[in-house]
Structure formats: C-alpha cells, structure tokens
Structure 1
Amino acid sequence: MNKEKTHILLAEDEPALGMIIKESLETRDFKVTHCLNGIQAYVAFESCKPQIAVLDVMMPELDGFSLAKKIRLINEEMPIIFLTAKSQTEDVLEGFHVGGNDYLKKPFSMEELIVRINNLLSRQQTQQTAAVYQIGDYSFNFPQQRLAYLTQEPIKLTHREAHLLYHLLEKKNTVLDRTFILKKLWGNDDFFSGRSMDVFISKLRKKLAQDSQIEIVNVRGYGYKLIVP
C-alpha cells in the first residue's frame, strides 16, 4: 500500500512563485494546495485538513499573521512556516507570537524550505511517552498537553509549551542547554528564536506560579533550570 502523501497548505499571492513552490514540493512527493489569498487559504485549511502550512505574510484579503491566528484557534499543533520579505525584529517576533514555528526570508532556496518542512514534520512525529509527570503540586500529561494544579481543572498547553516543559523536566534541577533546546524546538538558535523562547518561558512561569516551590531560572550564558522540590 502506498504511503499517504503529506498535505501542505501553501498560501502565496504571487502566482508564478506559488507555482514554482508547488511544483518543487510535489516533486518531493508532497501534496500541495496552493491558494492566492488568506481567505481562500482559510477555507482550504478547514476543508482539506493539511498537515503543515506555508504562509506568505503579505497577502490580500487576509494577511499571513491574521490567517495563522485563525488557524491556531482550531489547531494548535499544525506546524506553520511564514514566508516574508520583512526582517524587522518586531515583525519576526509577531510571527512567533501568533503561532508560527519557523520563518523564511525572501528570496530563499527551495532546498532550504524543504529541509525546514521536513524538520518540523519530524519533530511533530517524535514518539511521545504516555506517562503523566508530577511537578511539585502539578500533574503534567505530556501527550495530551495538559497541566493541572492539585484537583483543579487542567489547562491546555500549546504544542511548543508542552515540549519545552517536557525538556525542562527531563533536566530538572540541572541546566537545560539554551542552544540545544532552540535547535530542537525552533530549528535554529538565532536571535529571533531566542526571543521567542524567552516569551514561552515567561508563559510557563505564569502557569506554574501556584506552587511557590517551583521556579524556572535563567542561568545566564547557559540556559534554563527547572527547580522542583
């Protein structure tokens, strides 16, 4: 039986560039749905159920960031890559804040895009353990991405929050290397990825704040340490 092809949602408003990307990905055995604006892409997302999205930032009707926000309301786990001509720090950070997993600055090589797609898919498919972990007074269900304090209702973590907490827990009371986790979850350790990770660390601190014995401390120059009793 033939393996089902990975379905990519491509939103690119430049028809010629979109066709080049679509044909290049199809030669690598991906299935590609190409849309010319954000609204069309959102309709395709709802109907086609893709495994990964490649979104241009500057699009008519609905821009890539706004499209990503709408997608994240329904699907928190699907990898999203932004294609952008923007390189300002605030633009790239906004891309991460709205749920992007990676970005590529135009012009880019098709080989680089394909490598990044495969890396994100590989990380998503990493086998997950079924264990539920105790973190002080919290229970952490990694596969279900849920964090619960004592008997309170569990809260849902995003895909990246859950994986970051899992790796912190693996290294509890020791330092989680900053470069390692950036390359593992963000794909690179550049400035923008580092800023994005700092945001996610802040979010986890807030979600673990009900147990005063738990801390996530910044070990300057090395990484982060999850301190648990």
Structure 2
Amino acid sequence: MKKILLVEDDANLGALLQDYLQLKGKFDVVLCKDGEEGLRAFTKQVYDLLILDVMMPKKDGFTLGKEIRKINPHVPIIFATAKSMIEDKMQAFNLGGDDYITKPFRIEELLLRINAMLKRTENTDKEKREEEKQTSFKIGKYVFDFTLQMITIGDNQQKLSTKEAELLRLLCMRKNEVLTREEALLNIWHDDNYFNGRSMDVFLSKIRKYLKDDTNVEIINVHGRGYKLLIN
C-alpha cells in the first residue's frame, strides 16, 4: 500500500482528504496539522508522495518543501493552496514541487493527479528504496556494516556510535558526490541548528580517524556546501 504524507492545517479539510484517499485511493495517509509536525513525520517513515498545504502556522508549506528536498530530492510533492498567482506557482516549482493544485479543488481531480504522478515515478522510487535499504558498504580497504555499526579492515574492527554510523552511511550513499550539511543534519538530527552542526563536526573528525589507514579514502570539506567521501 502506497503511503502519503498529508500536511494540512484545516482540520475539516484534512480529515476529508485523508478519509477519501484512504477509501477511494487505497492509500495509507498520515495527516499532520502544521509544517513542524509534518517534518517530524517525514523523518520517521518513507513516503511515496507528499501533499503540502502552503499557508500553515509554525512552518509554511514552501519552507517545509524546501527542507524536505534537502533530505530527499526525489519524493513527489504536490502543493495545495488558495494562492493562485503565477509567482506562487513559480516558487512552488522552483523549490522542487512536482505539481500544484489551487483551492478549492475537486477531490477526484487530486486523486487523478496523485495516481498519474505515482505511475510516472514508480521506477525511480524503486531504485531509491533499494539504495536506502543498503546496509553494507565497501570503502577502499574497509567494509562498513551499518546494521552492526562496525568498520572492518583486515582483522581490525571499530565500533561506531549510532550518529557516526548514520553519518558515514549518508557519505557512502553520496560517494564521490557532495553531501550537504543541511541534508546530513536534517536526516540525522532533524534540525540544522548551530549546536547540532558542531556535534556533527566532532563525529566527522572521529570518522576520518577511523579511515586513516587507507590513503585512498578521504573525506574532504566542500567550502560552503558540505562534505565529499572520495575513494580513489
């Protein structure tokens, strides 16, 4: 069953959409009442599609969509809002939205858009989920087992903390590519504030020490962006 995250601050509309999509669309729909609750829900589960209201308290839909895109560049996002100006639509698509539906709308139309989008992205989603399921990584001469939180080289093993293992896994999944600080912080700490950033720097320093016995493995800083795991 496909899982949808619906973030809508109008309690009546949210309940109506949730019931309809579960009954007619056969989807598992998680309903959140504001952007902050929506972000927390997104980081705890894997969703096939998101429906985000734009005008919400605490965190608006555009801000939420921007933060989600830092965590997951692929999950389909539909923005639903009473805003109908072309500038609003441009902002939605520039932030990584895949579709935009203007309130008031027919629920039947929303369901048609959801089904069309899921059909288009089915193959991409399968590839992404296979990547997310990977738990073992080859890092030069090292073998990293995410489940055991263990790095092995020859007969030597190094146990990692949970945060170290999560950070190294993200680096491995972006091997030879930039892992942005925002993506790492939101994935692991669910908040990209200054103090979490300092904690991440400490964990990164430890990971570099764990990998120092293979000169072909390096974690470099990419100024103003994040980090890159290089394996020559």
Q: Which interval holds the TM-score relative to the shorter structure? A: 0.5 to 0.7
SS at match of 1:94: helix
Question: CA shift at 1:51, angstroms?
Answer: 1.1
Distance 1:39-1:126 versus aligned 2 partners, 3 A rule: same
Shift of 1:89: 1.0
- 2:14 aligned to which of 15, 18, 43: 18
Q: Counterparts of 2:109 and 2:22 in 1: how far apart (Å)?
A: 15
SS in 2 for 1:87: coil
Find the aligned partners of 2:80 and 2:21 in 1 and give their Cα distance. 15
Residue 39 of structure 1 is matched in structure 2 by 36
**CA spacing shift, 1:74–1:127, aligned 2, 3 Å:** closer
Determine if the alignment matches structure 1 residue 86 to structure 2 residue 80. Answer: no
For residues 79-118 of structure 1, give each alpha carbon's deviation from its aligned partner in whole angstroms, at most 9, with x where no partner exists. 0000010111111100001110001000001111001111
State the distance in 2 between where 1:155 and 1:75 align.
Answer: 14
| 1-structure distance, mates of 2:35, 2:101 | 18
3-state SS, counterpart of residue 84 of structure 2: coil
State the alpha-carbon separation in 2 of the partners of residues 96 and 127 from structure 1: 19
Which residue identity is paired with 1:33?
V
2:72 pairs with 1:70:
no
CA shift for structure 1 position 7: 0.5
- Aligned-partner SS, 1:91: helix
CA distance in 2, matches of 1:43, 1:125: 25
Q: Quick check: which has more Rg, 1 or 2?
A: 2
State the shift of 1:155 in Å. Answer: 7.7
After superposition, where does 1:1-229 map in structure 2 within 5 Å?
A: 5-27=1-23, 28-126=25-123
With normalisation by structure 2, the TM-score equals 0.53
**What SS is found at the alignment partner of 2:5?**
strand
- Unaligned runs of at least 5 residues, structure 2: 128-175, 180-232
Distance 2:30 2:115 in 1: 17
Higher helix share: 2
Distance 2:89 2:178 in 1: 28
Q: Give the superposition deviation at 1:46.
A: 0.5
Instruction: Output the CA distance in 1 between the equivalents of 2:8 and 2:120.
Output: 25
Give the distance between the partners of 2:30 and 2:77, measured in 1 at CA: 14
Supply the distance in 2 between the matched residues of 1:43 and 1:120 (Cα, whole angstroms).
Answer: 24
Runs of 4+ in 1 over 6 A off after TM superposition: none
Partner SS, residue 17 of structure 1: helix
Superposition TM-score, scaled by structure 1 size: 0.54
Shift of 1:154: 6.3
Q: Cα–Cα, structure 1 residues 77 and 62, in superposed 2: closer, same or farther, change >3 Å? A: same
Give the deviation of 1:48 after TM superposition.
2.1
* Amino acid in the other structure paired with 1:77: H
